[in-house]
Structure 1
Amino acid sequence: MKIQQQHELFAAVLDLPLGKLGVRTAGGLITELCYLPPHFDAKAPQDAVAELAAEQLGKYCEDADFVFDLPLKRAGTEFQHKVWDAIRSIPRGSVRTYGELAKHIGSAPRAVGQACGANWFPVVIPCHRVTSSSGLGGFANSDDPNGYLLGIKRWLLAHEGSSEYAWQQTTLL
């Protein structure tokens, strides 16, 4: 699919301090938020829901304590919702490992990791607060150790003042 066609899939492409974020909407709901590679051009919000998302994400980028109140389309399995609810309970400035989260909800780390990877609403459901026991892990793991996803996760954790992040930053840079 050509970049222009991909661009048309989004009701907005936001150029935020954390990086590019695509906003998909339908029926007055946000259906997905997507981290995008830097080559995507910004796209102004095309509807009121995308405008609301842009406004609230901008406020979060200014203040890590901002609380989102966005109309999110229900997506995912009951297990994924259990994991996502546990992720939402992680305080700003803190991180948990997949293993810690799995123990908390009575599951396995791999299943927690898969649920994190299936998160339709990153930032709003702060999966960046979940790491592997040996580093940032999660969506930051890619073939490019200095890729845009790793940069996004580093920005989010630093923005939120994660003290646990400090040791990881020095071991991964």
Structure 2
Amino acid sequence: MTQLSLHSPVGELTISEEDGVIVSVDWGWSPFQEENELLLRAKKMLDDYFDGEEVEFDLPLKPHGTEFQKNVWKIMSEIPYGQILTYGEISDRLNSHARAVGLACGANPIPIIIPCHRVMGKNGKLTGFSGGEGISTKRYLLELEDTFNNLDDNLSLPF
């Protein structure tokens, strides 16, 4: 596994690559740094994202997880920049339950690139986030994307 770390507004992040695909983005700094073309490309995309650019992460990804989790992550990957889905909307697509979707979101090994921060609770409720500082990190990412300005005015956000 090859890793490359970067500084970001939400803390230090480490991108991990295995066999030519991204397998994780973790909070923290890895002591094992090694540059390669894919990791440098992913780092540049993340840097651009944090600089406020609308980035489409077109990277080869292979998150480790169950088939259900991978189905949830695939749907999350399709959520456009500045948009959201609710846990319920994803669960409806998978004929599942919102709670199971929430658990899959929390297990996402490639946050930000697979945008689990773009998944919210019913009626736009800002719910948990497993990375960084939790909900405050999720709020930061959504504000970075100016997502709240795109939400239906009828949604009642808890902040």
Q: Would you call these one fold, judging by a TM-score over 0.5? A: yes
C-alpha distance after superposition, 1:91-134 (max 9, x if no partner): 32222221222123211011111111121111111110112237
1:55 corresponds in structure 2 to 44
Unaligned runs of 5+ in 2: none
Contact 1:97 1:132 survives alignment (8 Å): yes
When normalised by structure 2's length, the TM-score is 0.78
When normalised by structure 1's length, the TM-score is 0.73
SS of the residue corresponding to residue 7 of structure 2 reads strand
Answering whether residue 8 of structure 2 is matched by residue 16 of structure 1, we say yes
1:144 corresponds in structure 2 to none
Answering whether residue 109 of structure 2 is matched by residue 120 of structure 1, we say yes
The CA RMSD over aligned residues, in Å, is: 2.9
Equivalent residue in structure 1 for 2:126, among 109, 119, 136: 136
More helix by share: 1
Alignment map for 1:1-173 (pairs within 5 Å)? 11-36=3-28, 45-48=33-36, 49-133=38-122, 135-139=125-129, 148-163=133-148, 164=151, 168=157, 171-172=158-159
SS of the residue corresponding to residue 16 of structure 1 reads coil
CA pair 35-167 structure 1, distance change in 2 beyond 3 A: farther
Unaligned runs of 5+ in 1: 1-8, 142-146
CA pair 43-12 structure 1, distance change in 2 beyond 3 A: farther
C-alpha distance after superposition, 1:32-86 (max 9, x if no partner): 11134xxx5x879522133222111112223442111223235222222221122
1-structure distance, mates of 2:70, 2:96: 13
2-structure distance, mates of 1:54, 1:19: 14
CA pair 116-99 structure 1, distance change in 2 beyond 3 A: same
Contact 2:2 2:18 survives alignment (8 Å): no
